[in-house]
Amino acid sequence: MIKMKKLNYWFLALLAFVLLLTGKPALAAINNVAVVPQISGEHTERFQIIAKPGATRELKVTLTNFAATSQTITMTPRNATTSAQGKILFNRTGKVSGAPDFRQMVTARQYKIAAHTKKLVTIKVQVPPQKFSGLLIGGLHFYTANNSAMAVDIPVWLTETNRSVAPKLALAGVTAQTYNGQPYLLINLENRRGALLKNVTVDLKIKHYGFLGIGSTTNSFVQTYQNFAPYSRLPLTWGRDNNPVRSGRYQITGTITSQGKQWYIKQRVVLPRAAAKQANAKATDLVEDHTWVLLLVVGVLVAVNVVIVIGILRKRKQK
């Protein structure tokens, strides 16, 4: 059995190598199953569709089972998202409000493939009757029934006119999240049109307002992202090592630059106390910053002294 598995792996690797040499469609594998999109042209790693509203397009994918037993492959449609590292991924939601939903254009399917056989499957894409401009990116998500964690995504690029549109970028509030024991402030940047952005540089000033203006801080955030998918949200993660996320009022200002174009952003947002508390509770080795408390105490003492001095001066004048 072990020898058979090794043989299958070697055969799969050999097939992938041959396909690369011959310029055939890109191949991906999950659990001894090869997923090969039947695509011709320059971009063999994705389907590209130009279609009018209401049209139907058929996509062909070959599934090959190299295992000694039959396998069931599930295909589900997903929307494109942008990760915090600037990579285009696919998940069950992954779109901004009001954007076209690729999940409504493709019906999920299951395919049973016998041992050591292959099957050519046809996947229909039903373009919605409503018009949309620019580019929509969706994904065909393949996984086996016995291991949904291992999956293959085949991108589908859909457009009506193949014409680019101007991006529309906007901030959509802030949240808090904990990664690897460190809490972060997540600044949600949205791409609200069908425009794929490349090499996106974000240069921001993040100002947190202290109580009564005491203890306010301003920090810089500069990061470059390789991709920003259309109709998606890019989470900008900002935090300081071993420091908690602070709730309250923030002002986000700065610029976003991509492919020679620049956008200016300025917005005031609020991070709720409950969101900050939840993120900080999951963190490890936090160092509490009590500077604002010290500044508040100093401010109160100064105010009290001023009141006392004014009171003394008034009494002297009355005499």
Locate 220 and state its tokens. 């810089």
Residues 6+ apart with CB under 8 A from 132: 100, 160, 194
Predicted confidence band at 200 (pLDDT cuts at 50, 70, 90)? Answer: very high
For range 231-240, the mean pLDDT: 93
Residues 14-40 have pLDDT tens digits of 444 344 334 445 556 777 899 999 988
What is the reported pLDDT for 122?
97
At residue 78, does pLDDT exceed 80?
Answer: yes
Share of the chain above pLDDT 70, in %: 86
What is the reported pLDDT for 313?
75
> Is residue 108 a contact partner of residue 75, using CB atoms and an 8 Å limit?
yes
Residues 84-94 have pLDDT tens digits of 999 999 987 76
For the chain, list the domains and their CATH numbers: 2-159 (2.60.40.10), 169-286 (2.60.40)
d(CA 46, CA 96): 23
At residue 206, does pLDDT exceed 80?
Answer: yes
d(CA 209, CA 250): 6
- What is the pTM assigned to this prediction? 0.80
Question: Which is more confidently placed, 3 or 31?
Answer: 31
Share of the chain above pLDDT 90, in %: 61
At residue 272, does pLDDT exceed 80?
Answer: yes
SS (H, E, C) 18-57: HHHHHCCCCCEEECCEEEEECCCCCCCCCEEEECCCCCEE
For range 215-221, the mean pLDDT: 91
> Is residue 127 a contact partner of residue 158, using CB atoms and an 8 Å limit?
yes
* Residue 229 φ/ψ region, left for φ over 0, alpha for ψ in the -120 to 50 degree band, beta for the rest: beta
Handedness of CA 22, 25, 30, 31 (dihedral sign): negative
Residues 112-144 have pLDDT tens digits of 999 999 999 999 999 989 888 899 999 999 998
At residue 224's C-alpha, the angle toward residues 219 and 228, to 5°, is: 115
Locate 149 and state its tokens. 């964690």
At residue 261, does pLDDT exceed 80?
Answer: yes
Residues 219-232 have pLDDT tens digits of 999 999 999 999 99
